[in-house]
Every structure is written in C-alpha cells, then in structure tokens.
Amino acid sequence: MTATMEATVTWRDGLVFDGQSGTGHNVTMDGNKEVAASPMELVLMAAGGCSSVDVVSILQKARQQVVGVQCQVKGERADAVPAVFTKIHLHFVVRGTDIAEQHVERAVALSADKYCSVAKMLEASVAITHSYTIENA
C-alpha cells in the first residue's frame, strides 16, 4: 500500500505564500524572507524536525531522562541556479539527567541511517552529516 500526502500552496502577494497540509496545518513561506521563512529554510527545518522526532522517540524508549533537544541545522547551497543544498549538517544538543552517550550516539545514527524520511530523501543529492553534544540539565 502506498501512503499519500497532500498539501496546498496559495499565493498571498509579492513572494508570500500560504501552505496548508492535508491535515489542516498552516505555514507561511516568503521567497524574500521578509515576513516568513523561505521554502529552502523550511527544507532545513524539515530535516531537523524529522531527525529530532526520531532522536527524542529513541531516547525516550531507551528510558533516558531527556528534558530538551535542539537540532541546529546548517546548509550549504550551490553557487548557481538552482541553488540546491550541497551539504547539510545537523547538530543535536541533548539536555537531561544522566544521559548515556551511547544512547545519544545510537539515536542520532538510527535517525540518520534508517528512520528520518526527509534526510533519506535528501541524501541522494546532499552530503548530510551529524554531530551531538550532551548537556546536564
């Protein structure tokens, strides 16, 4: 069975667009980055969000006492049109009590190698790297 997803993007004015997911959630995009994130910025956020969902879920299943996870995403773009991403780096900052490094390393690796749909889709044309730090809460 093939899963399908849908979204609608509606032009507001200038280079501002409103996106609505098939589940009814909204996001504004701005090609000029004046009133909202650009579509390419949203790609970075999607990669970080997708990976973060995996990392949090895996760490919770491992019974780690996580109180915060932040994914800092940096992307490098080609110096040509289309200015596609050539490199994306995701750095996870995991905060908690008695967090075991091997669990964080495993969670980040599983997200990168197996679970994150966004990263798996992008990795065909983008070099994606990962790192992490652990902070005591």
Q: pTM of the predicted model, to two decimals?
A: 0.93
Are 127 and 85 in contact by the 8 Å Cβ rule? The answer is no
Percent of the chain surpassing pLDDT 70: 100
Give Cα 86 distance to the centre of its chain: 16
CA separation for the pair 49, 58 (Å, rounded): 14
Dump pLDDT digits (tens) for 64-95. Answer: 999 999 999 999 999 999 999 999 999 999 99
Tell me, what amino acid is at 75? G
Q: Could you give all domains of the chain from N- to C-terminal order, each with its CATH number?
A: 1-37 (2.20.25.10), 39-136 (3.30.300.20)
* Single-letter residue type at 93: V
Cis before residue 82, ω within 30 degrees of 0?
Answer: yes
pLDDT of residue 29: 98
Residue-by-residue DSSP string for 5-67: --EEEEEEETTEEEEEETTS-EEEEETTSSSS--HHHHHHHHHHHHHHHHHHHHHHHTT-EEE
The tally of CA atoms less than 13 A away on the side-chain side of residue 84 is: 8
Question: Cα(92)–Cα(73) distance, rounded to whole angstroms?
Answer: 9
Number of helical (H) and strand (E) elements in the chain, helices listed first: 3, 6
With cut-offs at 50, 70 and 90, classify the pLDDT of residue 1.
confident
